[in-house]
Amino acid sequence: MADTVSLSETGVLPTMSASDEEYEYLTVTQAREELGLTKPVMARLIRDGVLHAEPHPFDKRMKIVRRSEVEALKARRAGLKKALARVA
């Protein structure tokens, strides 16, 4: 597996696809799309500290989140859905 490419090395955040899994950060929009969330729900997760957003180092208007946090949240949501399906 390739080493993780950090944002500081590339200077850009590409659009997310299956081949971009080596990038360490996602924009908030990319993370929201990956999780299948609405803008208000994503904003609440950031506000409540579930996900930690940082200013993009090259564009302060944008926020970025760690891919690892997004993947962890995605896994928790999948586990919760499985548990709820068993109960129903």
Q: What are 4-25's pLDDT values in tens digits?
A: 445 555 455 554 444 455 689 9
Domain of residue 58 covers 21-87
Q: Is residue 12 part of a domain?
A: no
Q: Is residue 47 part of a domain?
A: yes
Q: 52 pLDDT exceeds 60?
A: yes
What is the number of structural domains in the chain?
Answer: 1
Higher-pLDDT residue of 1, 56? 56
Q: 39 pLDDT exceeds 70?
A: yes
Q: Is residue 36 part of a domain?
A: yes
Long-range pairs of 57-65 with CB within 8 A, sequence gap ≥ 24: 57/7, 57/8, 58/11, 58/12, 62/27, 62/28, 63/27, 63/28, 64/7, 64/13, 64/25, 64/26, 64/27, 64/28, 65/25, 65/26, 65/27, 65/28, 65/31
Q: Per-residue confidence at 64, pLDDT binned at 50, 70, 90?
A: very high
CATH code of the domain containing 50? 1.10.1660
